[in-house]
Amino acid sequence: MNSGIPHTLHHPNHHQAGFTLLEVLITAVILSVGLLGLAGLQFNALRSNQSAAQSTIAVLRVIDAADRLRGNTQGVVDGNYDLLTGSSDDPGCIQKGCRSAQLAQYDDWSWNDQNANALPDGQGVICLDSTPNDGTSTAENKCDGQATNGMKIFVAKIWWDDDHNSETALRRHTMSITP
């Protein structure tokens, strides 16, 4: 049946509308790479925040050491703080009253016990030292026992495992103290 009108419902090259499966796959890959990068940034931010928090604790711990020295001036004069490495035991005198040497022993025990609990692998030394920015641990503290320009300047040094990696060096914070 031809009505004399030509049939013009001719479909030109038919282009598919929307996304092809390949385009969706490429978009998913790009999006997942971006999300992985974002997760890496978040992980680094968390690690930096933890490191900053530990540094703050270390600063507070050396300030505590300075307060202990200033609180026992007789112990300082008697040389009881010239090298405290955490090797002391609790003298058990806090309840009944300590002599200056016992208080220095208590400070050694208590300060290092708190260091160990406050920081990962936390350890410290209080010593007379003319070169405060050295040493790698309590065992290798590099305290020389020397006065600086005729002044007894003490140093509180604290180390901790900042990155939780036994292969890397401990992180150190120091503070010079003139009681």
pLDDT at residue 7 in the model: 56
Residue 2 forms part of a structural domain: no
Residue 127: phi and psi, rounded to 5, are: -155, 165
Residue 15 forms part of a structural domain: no
Residue 118 forms part of a structural domain: yes
Of residues 6 and 134, the one with the higher pLDDT is 134
Residue 2: pLDDT above 60? no
* Cα distance between the two ends of the chain: 115
Question: How many whole angstroms separate alpha carbon 154 and alpha carbon 77?
Answer: 12
For the chain, the domain total comes to: 1
Residue 16 forms part of a structural domain: no
Residue 125: pLDDT above 90? yes
pLDDT at residue 20 in the model: 86
When pLDDT is averaged across residues 159-178 and rounded to a whole number, the result is 94
pLDDT at residue 1 in the model: 54
pLDDT at residue 29 in the model: 94
| pTM passes above 0.85 | no
Residue 9: pLDDT above 60? no
- CB–CB of 69/154 below 8 Å? yes
pLDDT in tens, 91-117: 999 999 999 999 999 999 999 999 999
- CB–CB of 171/159 below 8 Å? yes
Residue 165 forms part of a structural domain: yes
Residue 78: phi and psi, rounded to 5, are: -75, -5
Print the domain residue range for 128: 21-177
Residue 73: phi and psi, rounded to 5, are: -65, -35
Q: Strand (E) positions, the chain? A: 83-84, 123-128, 154-160, 171-177
pLDDT in tens, 23-58: 888 999 999 999 999 999 999 999 899 999 999 999
Residue 120 forms part of a structural domain: yes
Question: How many whole angstroms separate alpha carbon 64 and alpha carbon 67?
Answer: 5
* Rounded (10°) CA dihedral 45, 48, 52, 55: 170
Read off the tokens for 173.
């914070």
Q: What is the mean pLDDT of the chain?
A: 90
Residue 13 forms part of a structural domain: no
Residue 126: pLDDT above 80? yes
Residue 143 forms part of a structural domain: yes
The helix/strand/coil state of 14 is coil
Distance between alpha carbon 12 and the CA centroid of its chain, in Å? 69
